[in-house]
């Protein structure tokens, strides 16, 4: 039953943090998170099978040295890469795969795309801020969410709206 509860939670919300302060609560939370990471990396359920982590590595690697865009872009740092990995692992299992890009200020971007006027772009800053902007036909949504290990609800909702048929 515990496993079933955990799996359904992972599918809906992504990572789960604990409010418990005891050693046991912390242990269970850490183990659950480790299991979720394995699932997210897996071929069948996670983004790993969709090649997202490989793409992230490839993009970050090609932007390690400044001026990678020919216009003086800042390099992508190891911190930004690590945060992007954490954010991807915090997403619910089975979620649509984003594509990876980079911006001139050295931030990595994750994009969920249906068409040029129906998409969501999330930038990952070295400070752990998630700057997002979505165009959904005539509607716009944009803002910033702090990333503390859980995928923010606002961003999950926008991913679902981009993907909705």
Helix (H, G, I), strand (E, B) or coil at 131: strand
> Rounded to whole angstroms, what are the CA distances from 126 to 34, 104, 118, 122?
23, 13, 27, 13
Residue from 142, 146, 153, 157 in contact with other proteins (CB under 8 A): 142
Q: Is the Cβ–Cβ distance between 88 and 40 less than 8 Å?
A: yes
Tell me: does residue 11 bind other proteins (CB under 8 A).
Answer: no
Least distance in angstroms from the C-beta of 107 to other proteins:
8
Q: Smaller CB distance to other proteins: residue 3 or 72? A: 72
Tell me: does residue 100 bind other proteins (CB under 8 A).
Answer: yes
Q: Is the Cβ–Cβ distance between 11 and 40 less than 8 Å?
A: no
Question: Which positions touch other proteins (CB under 8 A)?
Answer: 59, 62-63, 67-74, 99-105, 109, 111, 113, 116-117, 119, 121, 123, 125, 131-133, 135, 140, 142-144
């Amino acid at each position: 039953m515990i496993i079933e509860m955990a799996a359904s939670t992972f599918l809906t919300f992504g990572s789960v943090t604990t409010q418990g302060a005891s050693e046991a609560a912390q242990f269970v939370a850490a183990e659950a998170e480790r299991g979720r990471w394995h699932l997210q990396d897996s071929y069948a359920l996670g983004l790993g099978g969709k090649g997202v982590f490989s793409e992230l590595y490839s993009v970050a690697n090609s932007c390690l040295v400044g001026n990678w865009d020919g216009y003086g872009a800042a390099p992508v740092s190891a911190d930004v890469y690590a945060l992007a990995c954490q954010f991807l692992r915090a997403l619910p299992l089975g979620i649509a795969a984003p594509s990876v890009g980079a911006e001139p200020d050295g931030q990595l971007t994750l994009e969920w795309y249906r068409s040029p006027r129906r998409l969501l772009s999330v930038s990952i800053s070295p400070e752990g801020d998630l700057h997002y902007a979505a165009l959904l036909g005539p509607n716009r949504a944009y803002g910033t969410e702090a990333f503390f290990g859980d995928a923010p609800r606002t961003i999950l909702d926008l991913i679902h709206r981009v993907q909705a048929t």
